[in-house]
Each structure stands twice: as C-alpha cells, then as structure tokens.
Structure 1
Amino acid sequence: MMEDEEDNELDLNIPVKTLLEDITCPICLNFIEECSTLSCGHNFCHKCVSECINRNHKCPLCNKPALKENIYRNHQFEKIIKIIRSEKEKSKTIYYDSLISGASNGKITTTTTTTNNNSLNDKLLNIGSEDPKTSSPIEQLFKKYLKSSLISFESHYQDLSKPYNENVKKINSQMQENIDRVSGVGSMSEILIDQIRREYQIKQDKLKADFKISTDYLLSSLEDYLKKAAVPPSFINIYTSIMIPERDIIFDHCSFKPTSCLSDIRATLVEKLNSRGEKFQFISFNDDSHFVALKPASMLIDGSDSNEIKLIDELKPLYFYQIPQGSKIQLRGGIQLKGDIPKECFKKLFIPNQDMTMDYYRCEDCKVNWICKNCSEFCHKGHKIVSYILNHKPTYGCCYDEKYKCCKLIK
C-alpha cells in the first residue's frame, strides 16, 4: 500500500502523440469537446456525434446502429482530456518562449519546467542554443527565420511608434510651456492650468487612439498570416513515394493531404501509371492487392520496431496512421495493366487493301518461320527468336503459328 502511495507522487512524462488518436474526435479531427460516448464505446464531440446520429442513425466509426438516446456524456474522459490539453499548453508556452528567446538574442538559454509535484524537467534545457549539437534541424530552421522575422517586424513597429512618441513629447512640451505662461496670473491661473491640461489630454487621447488603430491593424494582419503559415505538422502534406516492387516501378515526390484516404492513394497511382503511356494504362487492382507504408530505415531501433504500417481502413485519414515524411507506400498483391493483355495475332488483325506491314521472325526452338511480331513476343516468350523478314507487306493475314499449332493468341 505504501508503494502505491509513493507511486502516486511520481510524474508521468507521456508524449501527447501517443494519446492523440484517443483524444481526437474522428469526425472533426480536433480535440474532443464535451466528450460523448456511444454504446459501442467510441468517443466523439457531443455536437459532432449528435449531427451524425440524427442523419445516419449509426456510429460514424464502426457503423453499429445508434440512436440519439444511445449518446452518453463521458465526464471522466472529458476531464482527462482537459488535463492533457492544459499540460500541453503549459509545455508549449515554455518551449516557444525559450525558442523565441534563443532566436532573438542568439544565446544559449537554460529553461526548466516545474510539474505539479515541483520536480524539475530538464527536457527543455538549451532549447535556445545555436549549437547544432544541442538543437534539432527543425529548431535551427525556425530560429533562423524567427530571428529575421522578429528583427524585421520589431523594426517596423519602431518605425510606427517613433513618430507617435515624438508627437507625445511635443504635446507634453507645448502643454508645459502654456502652463508656465499662465502660472502666477492671479486667481485665474489654476483654472487656466486645468483647462490647458484637459485640452492637451484630449489631443493625447486622440493621438493614442490613432496609434492603437495602426498597431491593431498590424497585429491583426500578422496574426492572420501566422495562422496560415505556422501550421502544426498534422496540417502539412505528407511527401512519399509509391512503389510496385514486382514491376520495378516507383513514383517519387507524391504529395498527400493529412485528410487523404486510401482512395486518394489509388487515384494518384492510377493517374501516374496512365501518364506513362499505353503499355501502363491501368486496368484493375487484383483482389488481394493492398498498400503498406514502409518507414525510413533511420527510424528503426535495433530492428525492434516494425518497419511497416498497414493501410487497411478505407476511410481512415492518413494523418491517423502517423506516416513519417520520407516513407514509401508499397502496393502488394499486384495490378493489371494494359500491357499485360496480349495483342492479337496478325492473322486476325489483317485488313485487305490497307497496305499493312508486319515484322516476321523465326523461332529456333520451335523451328517455325513466318511468325508475326505479336506472336513472337507472346506465344514464343522465352524462346530463341531471330529476325526473318522485317517490314514485309503481306497480301493476306500471314502467320505460321496457327498452321503449326503454336499460336496462343487465336483460340
């Protein structure tokens, strides 16, 4: 019992990504708000699942029948989500403060965080360091552009504030001159001084209001831009390659949105195959064909981590598979292309009076001459084939394969 009580005082350092799939609403892909659970056990935002149930009367994940009466508020899980979000925001604030501090002054910063149990977390040490050995490439890239952005925007802000500050000083100076001028002018001096101060206060307030409008517009414009530019990794496209190993085909630099599904991978593969020419025109996927994502070799630790991510759920967004950048998506199980379909024997293709030409070959294995090109490639595949007569203009559908019962194209 004592051991259990001691364990309760321990801090848990758990990466948010290990919990992300469980605390993210599968419908809106944001953190679950007002957590609601269906009888099948799946959790959603209350608003999201209510709208889905009203339309389809089934669970959006497993399709189990469900009614509005089957929606239950999960207060315990909602509380856990709030704790996770709160701790995440605290860590993020400390991290970004350290990163920006390092970007602005170029010095090594030492930042520690204190958990609820007042234990030090040294994970954020040296975040602001310019030493590549103590900061990741991502941090270095952000610091590079944060530094220039901070300097540029701070300079722009100073350009706005400099004339404002000078005008404030000018107003104060004029006010003081007028006050000095009326001071000691009998009993009316106090009234005049108070009137002067009110007049100049109005001028200062107007000047301050104008400056605030300019500053607010600048901040709003910058914030709108940063919201679009500074997106989290889950919002950036996944760059990968698509491979068909048995055909030695690979398409590099394929880009998929985080919300893309298996249908998008198939569509991209079909489009790229069709662009290769007639031989690669897509016909169909085999019944047992499926996709797997192969992680980069650098992500394997002593071979203990699986190299493959099976892409099996048709409707699951790629974001939830957590496919690393640089992974390769591999098609297994095969695919049918137009080049796989055998061409017809020249005997069937021949049209009288069309001035057609054909290359003829001899099969040394079968001892047959006058074999049309299509039959030489299909019916005698793997045999020793030599040229017999090239660019010949036959007067009839000539091919000796049928005569010697060698033709597999004519049935």
Structure 2
Amino acid sequence: MEENDLPLLVPLTALTDYLQCSICMCSLDKTTITVCGHRYCEKCISEWVGRQHTCPCCNHPLILSQLFKDHQFDSLISAIESEKSKAETQYFENLIQSATSENSKSSEQNMSPVELVLKKHLKKGLIEHESYLQTLKKSLHTKMNVLETSTERAVADLQSHGLSQNEVLQQTQDLYRALERQKLEMTNELESCVAMVAEAYDRYLNTHIPRLDVLPVKATVVLAGKNISIPDITFQATDSLLEVRTSVESAMIKRHNPVHSWEPSTKYYLFGPFAKCSELEMRTVIHNFHMDGNLPDDVQFLTEGAKLGLQYNMRPGSVILILDGVKLESDLPKKCFVDIYKKSDTQQKVDYFSCNQCNFKWICRSCMEVCHLGHEVTPYIIQHQPNWACCYCPKKKCCKIQLEG
C-alpha cells in the first residue's frame, strides 16, 4: 500500500489558521496571493493595498498589480470543506448507531418524517455542542499561554535584580508554584463550566433541542464595595441589564436588605469564566480601563438594552460586577421602627432586642445599632410581626434617630 493510500486522519485544527484571512479573520474568499507569498481574501487585500500600499503580514511594499488570484488554493479550501462535511455526517452517524440496537438500524427510506427531522437537528446540536466546548478550551489555553509567558519573563528578570543565587532559586520556585496553582484553578474552572453546560443542556433538551449559544446560563453578580456576592443566578440569552437588576432586587429582599435605588451612574462589567478574580483585582482591571481605555478580551462593559447571551456571549460561570450607583437599605441613615411602621404592610417584620445597661426591652434593630452602641445588648424577639409602631427607645427618651432622615 502506498503512503497516499493509507486511511490517515488529519486534525482540522492544524489547518484552520492557514485557511483564514488575517485581515477579516474569516475563511478565505476568492483567495489572492501577494508577490511576498501571503494569502488574503480578494476584497480585503485590495482595499488594504489601496489604502496602505503594504502587505499586512510583512509590511512589504505592494501595488494592486502585484496581487494574483490563487484558484488552486480555493479548490483546496473547497475540498477540505467537503471532507469536513462528510466527516461531521459520519461522526453523527457513528454516535447514533452506537446508541441503538441492531433492530433499529434502518435506512432513511424507512424513517418517518418525524425521525428525519430529529436526525437533522441532532446532528446540528451535537456539532455545535462540540464546537462550543472547543471554544472554551481554546480560551483556557490562550489564558494559560499568557500566564506562562508572564512567568518566564518574571523569572528572566530576576537575574537583573542583584539577588543572590539562593534568592533567585527560591523566587523562581515560588513563581513556578504560583503558575501551576493558577493553571490548576483554570483547569478546574473549565471542568466546572463544562459540567454546568451539560446540566443546562440536559435540562433544556427535555422540551426541545436548541442552539447551544441560546441556553440559559448561571452567573454570579457582585455588588462592588459592599462585600455582597449573589451566586447561581440563571440568565436567558435574551436577558438584559433589566433582568440583572430584577434578580439582584429579588435576592436582596430575601437577604432582608432590599435595594433602595439604582443611580444612572451605575456601571456593569462582564468577566468571563477565566477572567473572574477577587473583587479587588476586578476593580483594578476597571481602573486600568479608565486610564488607558483598554479591557482584556474576556472582560466587557455592558450597556443598557443589550442581550447578555446573544450580544455578549455570556458563558456559564461568568461574573457581573456592578460598580457604584446601587443603594441598599443598609446604606441609608438608620431609622427607628416607630418612623417606618406601616399599618397596611402585613408582611412587615422587625427584630427586637433588650439592653441590660438601660434595663428595658423592645428595642428595634436600628436603635440597637445606634442608640445602644457599646451597651450589653441581647436578642429579645426576632422576626416579630407587630401590629403597632413598637419601639421603647422613644418612650424611654433615649432615641437618637427618631424623625431623622
């Protein structure tokens, strides 16, 4: 058997970069080659040379007459696309056959219209599912490469710091240990993302088979400067910042610290699953953005009305950082329960305390925190539902906050 006759399989990822135009980053269309040996889409390179008069890759001087159509390369791309389509079909057929018994292996001529539709959409769903996961893995590998490069640069710089050999060795080991720890954290994050994708995909398939990029995803919302993190909020692909605010309001009501207001100055930032970090680090990223106008590729500034999934491609495990402008009830000046009691609110509840130093009970939480600050205070009745404006602080003439605010 000759070498060309061997049934060899070549990974498509090894060829993808060579089939893309480095100007538009899409598949080459009407391939055109320059005298310096680089290939581009005909439209892309013609417009570029008309303005810049150079090659985008090597900066070689170019004029339009030095551009030539590469018909053979177009034929190669067409052949690869054809073989890719055949391989996808075969991949799908193998998956289906492995999950069925011998008795159910029938030809398409014997399939019902419903079976044919199911087969068509299963094929599309499986291919998109694999493509989605490969995108996540590519993001991880890119991030790891950046970390490795930064670490190698830091190790090389140690030689110029005037350190002893032992100090250089110790700091080098510390840098590599930190690198391995970060790589492990990102690998675990990928596994977590994949698990959440699989969970969401399985749940969604109970009703229909969707495109993967429109699946609902879980994300965490962080209220900057308030030490508040709200995990596992589910967002639809069509949700916008309106749903983000609604989710935060609902969560904070459950935490007995409702949102009082949203200011127009509120800013929202989306950190991808491999970009999320501590709140301090996220705020540093935003500070740098305000200084130089640049955000990392996996961090985005969210605008009103835009769709989180459809326009920002929000992925499972992402973090939405809300910066400034959100005011919670705990941020407001303290008010005595006497001033905020509403007879019509049958759900209103209050925590009461007793002060051993002042020797009386029925003290509302706000008065406990302000009027009896530093006193020996103990809980008296928690989550009580009063039927009148009850707090003994004003009655005992020691309330410092009544009628304030």
TM over 0.5: no
Please, what TM-score do these two structures have when normalized by structure 1?
A: 0.41
Please, what TM-score do these two structures have when normalized by structure 2?
A: 0.42
Q: Which has the higher contact order (CA 8 A, sep 6+)?
A: 2
> Which of the pair has more CA radius of gyration?
1
